[in-house]
């Protein structure tokens, strides 16, 4: 059902939350907050309107069959359980089968999945499966390392806890040497880059 032009459900919801916590949504500091939150949510959930496959764009035929690794792709996402941010870095590797994708396309793919309500495990798998499907490489590896504000700000309040997830497909799953090479290549990034 289409939203009537003068209906702004996010604005109304934010006002209701402000009232529920004992605030006055009309006071000077909060008067524009519902509209700002509405615009923020449009940006943070823009991945729902993005086709991740299109994010990969044009591929190129190349006589190259060694590992391609894109390290330290920064991302921000929202945990679907508490609607709080989690953020970190993604490491991606693939073994091409005669076709490669432009460098900027893999970060765009990450962003398309990160800008949705997510769980880190699913996002990791989605990135790997999309690359596997649309590039048809010999294998894909994805490692995601992130800090979750839902465990830092509330609940157990663990400030240093970091979650690491991985998805290994094709050769990266079946060949221990390939997997080891990828993990060695991305391990040096941990000494040169910290979480955003």
- Active-site positions read 79-82, 120, 148, 150
Distance, CA of 32 to CA of 50 (rounded, Å): 28
In whole angstroms, what is the distance from residue 8 CA to residue 25 CA? 15
Query: What backbone phi and psi angles, to 5 degrees, belong to 77?
Result: -140, 180
Q: What is the largest CA-CA distance in the chain?
A: 64
Q: Fill in the DSSP letter of residue 49.
A: G
Give the sign of the dihedral formed by CA 162, CA 142, CA 178, CA 66.
negative
Are 128 and 140 within 8 A, CB to CB? yes
Helices H / strands E in the chain, number of each: 9, 7
57, 59, 82, 175 from 103: Cα distances, Å: 10, 10, 33, 25
């Amino acid at each position: 059902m289409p939203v009537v032009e003068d209906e702004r459900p996010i604005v109304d919801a934010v006002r209701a939350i402000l009232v529920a916590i004992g605030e006055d949504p009309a006071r000077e500091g909060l008067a524009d907050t519902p509209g700002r939150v509405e615009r923020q949510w449009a940006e943070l959930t823009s991945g729902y309107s993005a086709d991740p496959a299109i994010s990969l764009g044009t591929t190129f035929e190349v006589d190259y069959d060694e590992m391609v690794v894109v390290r330290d792709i920064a991302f921000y996402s929202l945990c679907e359980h508490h609607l709080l941010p989690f953020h970190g870095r993604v490491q991606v590797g693939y073994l091409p089968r005669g076709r490669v994708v432009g460098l900027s396309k893999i970060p765009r793919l990450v962003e398309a999945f990160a800008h949705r309500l997510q769980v880190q495990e699913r996002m990791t798998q989605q990135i790997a499966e999309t690359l596997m499907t649309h590039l048809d490489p010999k294998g894909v590896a994805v490692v995601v390392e992130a800090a979750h504000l839902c465990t830092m700000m509330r609940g157990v309040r663990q400030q240093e806890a970091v979650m690491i997830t991985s998805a290994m497909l094709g050769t990266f799953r079946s060949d221990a040497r390939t997997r080891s090479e990828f993990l060695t290549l991305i391990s040096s990034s941990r000494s040169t880059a910290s979480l955003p």
